[in-house]
């Protein structure tokens, strides 16, 4: 289990997270929801080692970590397969990557083009494939389905659920339906200034 205790983060002179406690059970999906700016992305970035907390602890972070960020973070001049292979071990071949992208609903004609020529929903699928194929123990998905149409969403959600089975997942979302469809435990993260009297809050 990943155990977050008393997590406090200051950014730009403001307290973004203030004494947050959160449990991420091994192999489970926890969905964090809450208003814009309450610190969901910051929480995910702490788990990924990208933000240093001012206080508190995160225990149980041991294995590999992967993420879908709110931004696609793709190399624009490369095609989808090349983008995904950039971050994977060399023994993950083009055929395996292609199969994953197709399973996520990327069309054959989209596969051969540089990603700068893909639509928003197609680019999201590339970013998701990259995270799924990384075979990480912890997967942070920060609003991963933005821009994916309703029919495609079913396909992508099914694939993510299948691929993430047995892994620990933090899903950051505004969509309760997506969370429920991934079988997530939903946790609401209030704003830092809404702290309890003792200055702590249970996420």
Residues that bind ligand ATP (CB under 6 A): 11-12, 16, 34, 36-42
Q: Which is nearer to ligand ATP, 101 or 131 (CB)?
A: 131
Q: CB of 187: closest distance to ligand ATP in angstroms?
A: 12
Which has the closest alpha carbon to 58: 115, 140, 126, 1? 1
Which of residues 51 and 61 has its CB atom nearest to ligand ATP in the complex? 51
Minimum separation from the CB atom of position 3 to ligand ATP (A): 20
Residues facing 24 on adjacent strands: 2
Query: Residue of minimal CB distance from ligand ATP?
Result: 12
Q: Is residue 31 a contact partner of residue 173, using CB atoms and an 8 Å limit? A: yes
User: 37 vs 199, which CB is nearer to ligand ATP?
Assistant: 37
Cβ 77 to ligand ATP shortest distance, Å: 28
As measured in angstroms, the least distance from the Cβ of 51 to ligand ATP is 8
Using alpha carbons, select from 25, 42, 26, 24 the residue that is nearest to residue 34.
42
Q: Which is nearer to ligand ATP, 12 or 166 (CB)?
A: 12
Q: Which helix (H) or strand (E) holds 53?
A: none
Q: Which is nearer to ligand ATP, 133 or 170 (CB)?
A: 170
- Minimum distance, C-beta of residue 47 to ligand ATP, in the bound complex (Å): 12
Handedness of CA 129, 151, 71, 52 (dihedral sign): negative
Q: Which residues contact 20 (CB under 8 A, 6 or more apart)?
A: 4, 6, 7, 8, 39, 43, 56, 189, 201, 203
| C-beta separation of 66 from 87 below 8 A | no
Query: In the complex, what is the shortest distance from the CB of residue 43 to ligand ATP, in angstroms, rounded to a whole number?
Result: 7
Cβ contact 171:178 at 8 Å: yes
- The 3-state DSSP class for residue 118 equals coil
């Amino acid at each position: 289990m990943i155990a977050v205790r008393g997590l406090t983060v200051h950014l730009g002179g403001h307290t973004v997270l203030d004494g947050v406690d959160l449990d991420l059970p091994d192999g489970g999906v926890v969905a964090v929801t809450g208003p814009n700016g309450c610190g969901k992305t910051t929480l995910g970035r702490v788990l990924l080692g990208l933000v240093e907390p001012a206080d508190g602890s995160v225990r149980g972070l041991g294995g590999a970590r992967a993420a879908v960020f709110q931004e696609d973070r793709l190399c624009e001049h490369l095609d989808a397969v090349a983008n995904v292979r950039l971050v994977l071990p060399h023994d993950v071949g083009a055929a395996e990557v292609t199969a994953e992208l197709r399973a996520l609903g990327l069309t054959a004609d989209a596969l051969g083009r540089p990603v700068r020529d893909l639509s928003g929903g197609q680019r999201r699928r590339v970013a998701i494939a990259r995270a799924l194929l990384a075979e990480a123990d912890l997967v942070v998905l920060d609003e991963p389905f933005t821009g994916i149409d309703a029919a495609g969403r079913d396909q992508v959600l099914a694939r993510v659920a299948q691929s993430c089975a047995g892994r620990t997942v933090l899903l950051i979302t505004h969509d309760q339906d997506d969370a429920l469809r991934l079988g997530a435990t939903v946790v609401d993260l209030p704003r830092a200034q809404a702290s309890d009297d003792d200055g702590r809050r249970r996420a």
